[in-house]
Chains A and B, each alone.
Chain A
Amino acid sequence: MTTTVHEGTVATEPAARATVLDGVGMRFGGAHPVHALEDIDIEIGDGEFVAIVGPSGCGKSTLLRIVAGLLKPTAGTVTVRGKTAAQARRDVEFGFVFQSPVLFPWLKALGNVLLPDRILGNRSPTHGPDIEQRARRLLDDVGLRGFEEHYPGQMSGGMRQRVALARALIYEPSTLLMDEPFGALDEFTRDRLNIQLLDVWNKARSTVLFVTHSIQEAIFLADRVVVLSPRPGRIVRIADIPFPRPRSLDLRYEAAFATLTGELRGLLEIEADDGVAPDEATSWQ
């Protein structure tokens, strides 16, 4: 194991607020050893939106968990705003949105959004007497006004995922890590959530690391798209996405968008896009 630890101080210049992955590699041992990631070098700027795209099993989720300080890489280092990933996790720099909403079914929508604040208390920068108002505003931002008192069991999959997004934003994390958050949703719900995500990101201006297997989604959302190859996950290309913001869904029908999509798809051997199973008919309010 060649993990070195950079115990740094938080500096104020932009470069010091970056997320830097330096030669990150990951091997899982055990009966069936897997070489999940190799030589991942990326520098993500403060407030940048970076999408990671690649076929199933290319270690995208593993990479996200390494950045979050949930997994320790077997090679290389991760530095988040001058701190190790583990230290950044302890300092609650991250918001994490999982593939499934991971809501607590015994809490209503509002209670779920407030959960991080209840756990963090004074450690949350937004903690204070008007936290509930903030939670209601976030639910409003993700299009869930009027659903504050609904239990997760009374909401559709898309609505639950939006509660999960609001929950991740309640304590204003500096970095938002999203692990195929809309992968289980139908296309229409996904489109709408993409727009809402850009909208709340525009307000929060946190750094976003967004994992997806949809090339279109990655290009539509991100400033840069990192294309990973499968087994071991290696960076094939880091593509700059030139489209101006704010972006509308119509962007996807422009020629330049199609060209870029085709280009990146060509880099991936398997057809990773459109592999979305609309497993759930989402009812809109």
Chain B
Amino acid sequence: MAVDDSNEVRRMSRWRALLPAGLLFVLSLVAWQVAVTVLDVPVYIVPSPIQIGQELIDSGASLVSDLGWTMLEAVLGFGVGSGIAFLAAVVFVHAPMIERAAFPWAIVLQTIPIIAIAPLLTIWFGFTLVPKVVIAAIICFFPVLVNTVRGLRSVSGQALELMSVLSARASSVFWRLRVPSSLPYVFAGLRVAATLSVIGAIVAEFTGADRGIGFVIVQASYRIDTRLMFAGIALSSLGGIGFFGIIGWIEKSILRWPDARVSVS
């Protein structure tokens, strides 16, 4: 079908669109390598990309298992935080009084630096999974809440009139109109939350953990092992990008209609 052809073309041009960014990345690594070598920078200040690469190979297996742990925390926190945010958004949209009472406190929660609550949660829950999941959930909550509320409200007055003419039940209006209308907005929130959840998990690991990428980075900093620190940073970034990409892929396979960003026409 013609539609599939144009998708194919779009996919090709997307790869081509990534090319300049990839080139810049490679050039930066080369410049970094040259600068470190020429200026003779000590390895404990800034290691060279080749040294970092060597570190990634040497400690690869254990680093990957630490990353896996961190990603588990991030994904669990993402699920809990986004799930609660979605339910809260549904309540807000259907009960404006509750929204008026609770929304200011959601903003307050958002303004508390998570790094400030992390130690407290570690005292309460120890070196377990819980504080990391809670921190990741808190950091995911707000973007998903705000976007879902906006999405559920993006329904046009005429679409609601149409449902009224069809004498549709409230559950019908919700599932057949509000939820699909909200999906593009919900996914916009989820994409932001995906990257934030990895940050949340790592921050929580800083204050008390016995494994995970955040733990590795903190341990390495005590030993001024900058090679390992950079390797950890690279991997955590990779984890965030990967999670973002997976959410983007799920979004694309669910929002199949053209101009999915436009709500009811």
Contacts and interface: CB of A to CB of B under 8 A. Distances in A.
Interface in A138-158: 151-154
Interface in B170-200: 172, 176-177, 180, 183
Contact of B264 (A70, A90, A96, A103): A103
A105 B262 contact: yes
A152 B180 CA distance: 15
Given A106-B180, A115-B176, A154-B3, A90 B265 contact: no
Nearest to A171: B166
Contacts of B156: 102
Given A105-B265, A119-B168, A152-B265, A100 B158 contact: yes
B259 interface: yes
B159 A102 contact: yes
Contacts of B210: none
A89 B159 CA distance: 16
A96 B161 contact: yes
Contacts of B37: none
B165 interface: yes
A90 B161 CA distance: 13
Contacts of A106: 180, 183, 255-257, 260
Contacts of B123: none
A12 B33 CA distance: 91
Interface residue tally of chain B, by bracket?
Answer: 20 to 34
Given A104-B264, A106-B257, A98 B167 contact: no
Contact of B167 (A89, A103, A104): A89
A154 B258 contact: yes
Contact of B165 (A68, A118, A153): A68
Given A153-B258, A154-B3, A103 B161 contact: no
A98 B260 CA distance: 22
A55 interface: no
Give me the 9 closest cross-chain CB pairs, A-B, nearest first.
Answer: A153-B258, A96-B165, A102-B158, A151-B257, A106-B257, A153-B259, A106-B180, A119-B168, A98-B158
28 contacts: A70-B164, A92-B166, A92-B167, A96-B161, A96-B162, A98-B158, A99-B158, A100-B158, A100-B265, A101-B265, A102-B159, A103-B264, A104-B177, A104-B180, A105-B259, A105-B260, A105-B262, A106-B255, A106-B257, A106-B260, A107-B257, A119-B166, A120-B167, A151-B257, A152-B265, A153-B258, A154-B3, A154-B258
Given A70-B165, A115-B176, 5 more contacts: A99-B158, A106-B255, A119-B172, A119-B176, A120-B166
